């Protein structure tokens, strides 16, 4: 890689790192794991930079991150429970406008497996349609639907006061 291409790569990384780190943090739910995921995806992207720099390098990097997160090898390497912060623990009733429910939802999101978490992030944070999610993750649309359904069902099960939430809304 010559100096010109390396300068473009450095510019791309510097400008897109915050947005990509947000996605990585949502996918992993952990700061260190997010940084590791982003570095790993970037390391896979750098050798391909000569061919993808004119196309869509950010899309390529995002796809690498999504697939790296749900890959079997990565799950095998990080087979551990994500520690919860004290603020993520489920709390009791709070009359201050649903803060308790949000904290409970945050804790519930950390308990989702990587595949379901990736589908939730792509569907509800990136606002991508099911077909696009299936294309990015390399699976079928039916798989995306089933994973979304299971993820939402598990979140409902993990939330303590979802009925109260519906009343408030």
Partner 1 sequence: MTEPFEHLIRSTLTDLAEEAPIVHDQLSRAERRVRNRRRATVTVGAVSTLAAILIATPLALAATGSDEPPPAVPSPAGPAAVPSPPVPTPSAPTTVPTVEPSPGGAPGDPSITPGVPGQPTVKPSPSTRPGLPSTPGAPGKPLVSPTPTTPLGPPGVPGRPTVTPIPSR
Among 8, 13, 146, 164, binds partner 1 (CB under 8 A): 13
Counting residues that bind partner 1 (by CB under 8 A) gives 39
Q: Please state the closest distance from residue 90 (CB atom) to partner 1, in A.
A: 14
**How many residues belong to the chain?**
169
Per DSSP, the residues of the chain read --HHHHHHHHHHHHHHHHHHHHHHHHHHSSHHHHHHHHHHHHHHHGGGHHHHTTS-HHHHHHHHHHHHHT-HHHHHHT-SPPPPPGGGS-----TTTSHHHHHHHHHHHHTS-HHHHHHHIIIIIS---HHHHHHHHTS-HHHHHHHHHHHHHHHHHH-TTHHHHHHH-
46 lies in the site for partner 1, by CB under 8 A:
yes
Q: Interacting stretch for partner 1, rule CB under 8 A, among 64-72, 73-81, 120-128, 138-146?
A: 120-128
Extract the tokens encoding 89. 């623990």
Closer residue to partner 1 in complex, CB, 106/132:
106
Among 106, 132, 154, 164, binds partner 1 (CB under 8 A): 106
* Binders of partner 1 in range 124-153 (CB under 8 A): 124-125, 152
Q: Interacting stretch for partner 1, rule CB under 8 A, among 18-26, 63-71, 72-80, 89-97?
A: 18-26
Q: Interacting stretch for partner 1, rule CB under 8 A, among 7-15, 64-72, 74-82, 138-146?
A: 7-15
Q: Which residues bind partner 1 (CB under 8 A)?
A: 9-10, 13-14, 17-18, 21-26, 29, 31, 34-35, 38-40, 42-43, 46-47, 101-102, 105-106, 109, 120-121, 124-125, 152, 155-156, 162, 165-166, 169
């Amino acid at each position: 890689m010559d100096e010109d291409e390396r300068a473009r790569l450095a510019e791309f990384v510097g400008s897109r790192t915050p947005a990509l780190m947000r996605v990585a943090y949502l996918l992993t739910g952990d700061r260190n794991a997010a940084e590791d995921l982003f570095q790993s995806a970037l390391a896979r992207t750098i050798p391909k930079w000569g061919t993808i720099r004119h196309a869509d390098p950010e899309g390529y990097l995002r796809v690498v991150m999504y697939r790296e997160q749900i890959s079997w090898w990565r799950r095998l390497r990080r087979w551990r429970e994500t520690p919860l912060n004290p603020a993520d623990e489920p709390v009791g009733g709070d009359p201050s406008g649903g803060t308790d429910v949000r904290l409970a939802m945050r804790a519930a999101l950390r308990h989702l497996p990587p595949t379901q978490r990736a589908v939730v992030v792509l569907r509800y944070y990136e606002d991508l349609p099911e077909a696009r999610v299936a294309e990015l993750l390399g699976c079928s649309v039916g798989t995306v639907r089933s994973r979304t359904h299971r993820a939402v069902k598990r979140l409902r099960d993990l939330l303590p006061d979802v009925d109260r939430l519906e009343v408030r809304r």
